[in-house]
């Protein structure tokens, strides 16, 4: 009865996504090239924003680990130049948090805030 009310005292296993840190503008050309054979995802996150953290936690919880895509993580505050170049290269206005879906060298879908978790990523794989 107490487990139903208070939950188990056993720690929950945290889900770990296969994040690839996006830390240089040179990686953007690699992402563009690789998107011709495999869908590329870029998750832009502001580490100081509570809303960004909440959206990222929801994204992690719902992400299908079986997706055949490369998943990049961009810390906007630490790599602002990379964030700016990402927007320029892929012609997407900067927002935070933001998810970009890149296929065949172009962004085929993008969303910010709550819209991130509404994208059906399986449509782009």
Task: Report yes or no on 29 lying in a domain.
Answer: yes
Per residue in 78-119, pLDDT (tens digit) is 999 999 999 999 999 998 999 999 999 999 999 999 999 999
CATH number of the domain to which 73 belongs:
3.40.30.10
Domain span holding position 113:
17-124
Number of domains in the chain: 1
Question: Does the predicted model carry a pTM greater than 0.75?
Answer: yes
CA distance 60 to 72: 13
Helix pair angle (80-90, 26-34), 10° resolution = 40
Per residue in 1-57, pLDDT (tens digit) is 445 555 555 555 678 999 999 999 999 999 999 999 999 999 999 999 999 999 999
Q: Provide the greatest CA pair distance for the chain.
A: 56
Of 90, 19, 28, 5, the C-alpha closest to 59 is 19
Of 44, 36, 117, 48, the C-alpha closest to 87 is 44
């Amino acid at each position: 009865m107490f487990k139903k009310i208070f939950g188990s005292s056993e720690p929950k296993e945290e889900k770990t996504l296969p994040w690839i840190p996006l830390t240089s503008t040179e990686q953007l050309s690699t992402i563009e090239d690789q998107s011709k054979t495999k869908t590329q995802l870029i998750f832009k996150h502001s580490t100081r924003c509570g809303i960004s953290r909440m959206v990222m936690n929801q994204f992690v919880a719902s992400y299908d680990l079986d997706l055949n895509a490369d998943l990049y993580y961009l810390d906007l505050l630490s790599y602002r130049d990379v964030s700016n170049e990402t927007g320029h290269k892929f012609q997407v206005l900067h927002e935070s948090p933001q998810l970009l879906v890149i296929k065949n060298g172009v962004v085929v879908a993008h969303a910010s805030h709550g819209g991130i978790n509404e994208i059906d990523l399986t449509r782009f794989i």
